[in-house]
Structure 1
Amino acid sequence: MTEILFAAVDPTQALIPGINLNIGATDDPNGVSTTLRILLLMTVLSLAPAILILMTCFTRIVIVLSFVRTALATQSMPPNQVIIGLSLFLTFFVMSPVFAEVNETALKPFQEGQISQEEAFDTAMIPMKEFMAKHTREKDLALFLKYTRVEKPTTIQDIPLTVLVPAFAISELKTAFQIGFMIFIPFLVIDMVVASTLMAMGMMMLPPVMISLPFKILLFILVDGWHLVVQSLLLSF
């Protein structure tokens, strides 16, 4: 059987694909443009996590959702994958007008060859800076402006990214922790009531968390907690 299979294949008639690698100068501007676009895309993809975390609303959303899980004391429920995935989709939902403006004013003209790479980057930063400046506290912005020793900007677009991005990041951290504190209050009250009740009944060996956890989950379900948390996050933007 093996001999029949080998006999059916003629080595002289087999076609081997050829591979050509050419390294050198070129006179085709389209080839150079394509190469630069690939390099630009790879650079953007490598920086995508930092861009997503520090220049969008992802930081606030993921921290608040993590606070909800910690306040409920449900350990790893919901799991990290669910929290990160929900945070990503909420980020895309909130940032969709900004991304649409970046696509219309910067990405499409650059792909059509109407503007250069530098012009596309400057144009794309206009809506991003407007979003970040809207949610950045003046105190945080003044902190970084003071240490960079640059002239006081007259417009939002005059603020350098090296100043605006960290100022926006710490502003988002403060806002997220403020929301997280408000989420903790009702669950803290339940823990205190359960702990006091167990202490009065003399059941000091029974962990209060074991008793308060079902009540906290019940309260969260009755008030439709996930709806309220996501609604509060969306209204905060």
Structure 2
Amino acid sequence: MPQPSQSPTKVPRALVRSAIIQLGVVLMLGAVLAVLVMMMDPGTPAQAQNVDVGAQLTQPDIGDPLNAGQNQLDPGVPSVQSPTAGEQVPVLESTGNANQFSLNVDGINRPSQAVTILVTLTVVSLAPSLLMMFSSFTRIVIVLSATRNAIGMPSVPPSQVVVGLALFLALFTMTPTLTQVNETAIQPYLNAEITVEQAISNAQAPIRTFMMHEVGDDELELFIGASGDTRPASPQEIPLTTLMPAFVLSEIKTAFIMVFVINIPFLLIDLIVAAVLMSMGMMMLPPVTVSLPFKLLLFVMVDGWGLVVQSILRSFA
């Protein structure tokens, strides 16, 4: 009898998968070892290139005399001139890292680009806090936000509109102070007439005057007593770390007083509408829904936003 033909032997899938995994592990280990060898090699091309660049900057090549004569005859080829006795050559100084250098021109150390970017990002991140601590923005944004809540529309106008209006009103009220800062600190510093320390000192004077004019006596006494330091002999001796929180607390207090005055007319309208609905037996109808059109009509007829903004501006006069 003929014997049955045997089927070809099949390789198990588990064995193939194990071989692929082992091959991948070997390739990964080889790549890691190659990276480690490159990192441990002290003589990298980047360092040699940086040394050549420094040598070219610090030791200018005056060229071959034969080539120099040829350059003088050929006007199309620029000639290399040696520096004169009074001329200073820029020197590229290493900072310890092969990829970071500081340029020294005329004896002045120029800050690196990384330091400049770090300082710029720090100033930008602190800008909102400085705006709230030194300006009238806190009082204005609280009053405007509370006004729309008193009307009965917490989301109209949108928050972006309220914050934008508060920002421009703060710039408007702070214009005299910012003008003094620009004239006494920024422009003299940009014209190299004063140092950085003098510019900071000159900029503090107008801002301190503005905060001292708006801060309350009770808030100032609170923080002076809580600081535990000796009592200042004059307002100019009060440190900014004490004056700033007192100024912000005083701004919040003044804003709440203005909000209380603004909410009284709207509260009266709500009470009148609630009493009328109660007398008519309409218990299920919310009084706020009925009083909202009347509050909007009253607010538009008396030019409410204009009165609110005028009151805010007068509070800083």
TM-score normalised to the size of structure 2? 0.65
> How far 1:155 moved relative to its partner?
2.8
8 Å contact kept, 2:102–2:112: no
**What letter is aligned with 1:192?**
L
1:156 counterpart = 2:231? no
Partner SS for 1:32: coil
- Alignment correspondent of 2:14: none
- Alignment correspondent of 2:101: 24
**What letter is aligned with 1:196?**
A
**Separation (CA, whole Å) in 2 of partners of 1:42 and 1:157:** 31
8 Å contact kept, 1:71–1:187: yes
Partner SS for 1:219: helix
Structure 1 residues 170 and 130, CA, compared in 2 at 3 Å: closer, same or farther?
same
Structure 2 residue ranges without an equivalent (≥5) = 1-52, 54-97
Partner SS for 1:27: strand
**Separation (CA, whole Å) in 2 of partners of 1:93 and 1:228:** 17
Structure 1 residue ranges without an equivalent (≥5) = 1-19
> How far 1:44 moved relative to its partner?
2.1
- Alignment correspondent of 2:91: none
**Separation (CA, whole Å) in 2 of partners of 1:107 and 1:22:** 34
> How far 1:218 moved relative to its partner?
0.3
> How far 1:127 moved relative to its partner?
0.4
- Alignment correspondent of 1:227: 306
- After TM superposition, the structure 1 = structure 2 runs for residues 70-219 of structure 1, keeping only pairs within 5 Å, are 70-219=149-298
- Alignment correspondent of 2:43: none
**Separation (CA, whole Å) in 1 of partners of 2:113 and 2:192:** 11
Identical aligned pairs, as a percentage? 50
- Alignment correspondent of 1:62: 141
8 Å contact kept, 1:130–1:156: no
> How far 1:41 moved relative to its partner?
3.9
How far does the alpha carbon of each residue in 1:27-83 deviate from its partner, in whole angstroms, 9 at most, with x for none? 232623998766544332221000101211000000000110010011300000000
**Separation (CA, whole Å) in 2 of partners of 1:221 and 1:111:** 48
**Separation (CA, whole Å) in 2 of partners of 1:93 and 1:30:** 39
- Alignment correspondent of 1:46: 125
> How far 1:142 moved relative to its partner?
1.1
**Separation (CA, whole Å) in 2 of partners of 1:116 and 1:211:** 64
**What letter is aligned with 1:208?**
P
Structure 1 residues 104 and 33, CA, compared in 2 at 3 Å: closer, same or farther?
farther
> How far 1:147 moved relative to its partner?
1.7
**What letter is aligned with 1:163?**
T
Structure scoring higher RCO (CA < 8 A, sep ≥ 6) equals 1
8 Å contact kept, 2:215–2:247: yes
**What letter is aligned with 1:70?**
N
> How far 1:110 moved relative to its partner?
1.2
**What letter is aligned with 1:172?**
E
RMSD: 2.0
> How far 1:166 moved relative to its partner?
0.1
8 Å contact kept, 1:153–1:159: yes
Instruction: Flag the structure with larger Rg.
Output: 2
**What letter is aligned with 2:190?**
Q
8 Å contact kept, 1:54–1:165: yes
Partner SS for 1:150: coil
TM-score normalised to the size of structure 1? 0.86
**Separation (CA, whole Å) in 2 of partners of 1:93 and 1:196:** 43
